[in-house]
Amino acid sequence: MRGIIAAGVHVPHHRLDRSEIAALFGKGGGRGTRSVASYDEDTTTMGAEAARNALRNAGDVTVDSLWFATSTPAYLEKTNATAIHAALRLAPSVGALDMGGALRSGIGTLRTALTGLGTILVVSSDIRDGMATSSDEAAGGDGAAALLVGDDTAGTVIAEYVGSGVATDEILERWRIPGAPRSRVWEERFGEVAYAPLIQEAFAAALADAGISTDDVDHLALTGMHSRAVQRNRARLGVATDKIVDDLAGTVGNTGTAHCALMLASALEAAGPNEVIMLVVLADGVEAVVLRTTEAIVDHDVSSTVSAQIAAGGSVSYGKYLSWRQMVAVEPPNRPAPNRPSASAAHRRGAWKFGFVGTRDRSSQMIHLPPARVSEKGGAVDDMEPVALADTEGTIASFTVDKLVYSPSPPVVFAVVDFDGGGRAPLELTDVAAHEVEVGQRVEPTFRRLYTSDEIHNYFWKARPVRSADPTRED
């Protein structure tokens, strides 16, 4: 049996209330909220966070390869999956590939993993922008999802792959040239009509491949950037409305490449055993995948569920959103921008920089962050063992707010964090409002992009509050 072993998602902390768009421009926006990647997040960091959640939910499973799909990669030419690989502290023998570019790569990568070999961590991530007041801006959402795909010999399968269907077509319906600030779309009606037969074809092919009928579908996750084609054609598939998986449009928005995996993660959290989940994705044709949950899903614990992450969000103002997306240029602090990190120095310290791995002195047990060769206590030399703290919570010992220092989004909120079980690190805080920080607060590490200098993205770890489902306002 082959299928999904675990899922994990990352819904960014920030939510934009769509009504703020029309309040400023007199048009655009709509009801509800969309998720917003913070200024220190990109598709790579969000993918890393989703993947961390997936591996947490998977238990002890050995990954063979990591495949990363996005239409908004942080780098071209350079592989982005290797940064996620490093953040997950995967072994060098584990592969890491970018599958990105097209929106279709999300579902395509998943289907390829399900029909392929080995244990594959399929990570998809997108940041969905558009010009101010555009429907892409309002309907889009930022987020990432990770699915661990493999055989039941490698881990416990919670949803078995039972079939798929494909209808490929060359359609100029939505496109973007590399580097362009927005996507372009053809007249809406064209796509709506063009997708209609493709959906039917792929849906029927998938049912046939799985050996099931329409009535057997318990959860239908239908998605695509062409929302009109999705809505108009959904009813024509004959699946009862109570079996339609919520597309999260009212809270998260459409996360593009990541959205089918996000919806699948959401469906898995709601599903009982032996239920059929069908993914149907519109993107230059249609791909459909059929899964059936197993008995194992009953005892499958999920930390940081989709619904919990949605509930824990805090709002971001439209002005800040526009500045984060560089749609509006805001005066920076009059301080020098940081230097680019050194490639060789970063490479030497990859375990620390990407994996948040320090060292523990074997004789004194003192934890050193960053890693050290000589112990602060006792002075033992080269008697350290690595200690990974990315999944360890800590407590704020002291904090400050720096309005003078350079930051892509001032001010910098900064804390001295004492980790449970030992170890201290001064870390920037993120996903937090300055006024809600206090000594004694609980925080956890999160993988972020500190800044970009000379077109080099400087990745490292920050700390964020450990949140239960308590919405907060920040600006």
Partner 1 sequence: MGSRGIKDQVAIIGVGCTPFAEHWDSSLDDLIIDGAQATYASAGVTQDDIDAFWFGTSQSAASGLAMGGPLKIHGKPITRVENYCATGSEAMRQAAYAVASGAYDLAMTLGAEKVKDGGYQGLNAFPIPTDGTQRTLTAAAMFSLILPAYAAKYSIDEDDLRYAVAKIAEKNHYNGARNPLAQFRRETSAEQICRMAAVAGRLSVFDCAGVADGAAGAIMCRAEDAHKYCDDPLYIKALSCVAGTGAGSLDPDYDYTTLNESKWAADDAYSQAGVTDPRTEIAMAEVHDCFTPTELVLMEDLGFSDRGEAYRDVLDGAFALDGRLPVNTDGGLKSFGHPVGASGLRMLYEVWLQLRGAAPDDRKITAGDRTLGLTHNLGGYPGEMVSFVGIYGTELG
User: Do the Cβ atoms of 414 and 400 come closer than 8 Å?
Assistant: yes
Tokens standing for 97? 């590939």
| 179 Cβ contact partners less than 8 Å away, ≥ 6 residues apart | none
Q: Which of 228, 335, 362, 373 binds partner 1 (CB under 8 A)?
A: 335
Q: Is 414 in the site for partner 1 (CB under 8 A)?
A: yes
- Using DSSP's 3-state secondary structure scheme, residue 55 falls into helix
Q: Is 447 in the site for partner 1 (CB under 8 A)?
A: no
Cβ-based nearer residue to partner 1, 40 or 275 = 40
Size of the site for partner 1 (CB under 8 A): 45
Measured between alpha carbons, how far is 128 from 455 in angstroms, rounded to an integer?
21
Q: What are phi and psi of 108, to 5 degrees?
A: -65, -40
Q: Is 426 in the site for partner 1 (CB under 8 A)?
A: yes
In angstroms, give the least distance from the CB of 403 to partner 1: 5
Q: Which of 240, 330, 404, 469 binds partner 1 (CB under 8 A)?
A: 404
In angstroms, give the least distance from the CB of 149 to partner 1: 33
Q: Is 48 in the site for partner 1 (CB under 8 A)?
A: no
- Per-position x/- string for 345-384, each x denoting binding to partner 1 as judged by CB under 8 A, each - no binding: xx-xx--xx------------x-xxx-----xx-------
Q: Which of 131, 208, 397, 469 binds partner 1 (CB under 8 A)?
A: 397
Q: Which residues pair with 459 in a beta bridge?
A: 449
CA nearest to 210, candidates 258, 133, 280, 157: 280
User: Do the Cβ atoms of 243 and 219 come closer than 8 Å?
Assistant: yes
Q: Is 341 in the site for partner 1 (CB under 8 A)?
A: yes
Q: Is 286 in the site for partner 1 (CB under 8 A)?
A: no
Q: Is 83 in the site for partner 1 (CB under 8 A)?
A: no
Determine whether 429 is exposed, middle or buried from the number of CB atoms within 10 Å of its CB (0-12, 13-18, 19+). buried
Q: Which of 88, 248, 297, 425 binds partner 1 (CB under 8 A)?
A: 425
In angstroms, give the least distance from the CB of 409 to partner 1: 14
Measured between alpha carbons, how far is 183 from 181 in angstroms, rounded to an integer?
7
**Length of the chain, please?**
475
Tokens standing for 15? 């939510």
Where along the sequence are the contacts to partner 1 (CB under 8 A)? Answer: 334-336, 338-342, 345-346, 348-349, 352-353, 366, 368-370, 376-377, 397-406, 412, 414, 416, 418, 422-426, 428, 439, 450, 458-460
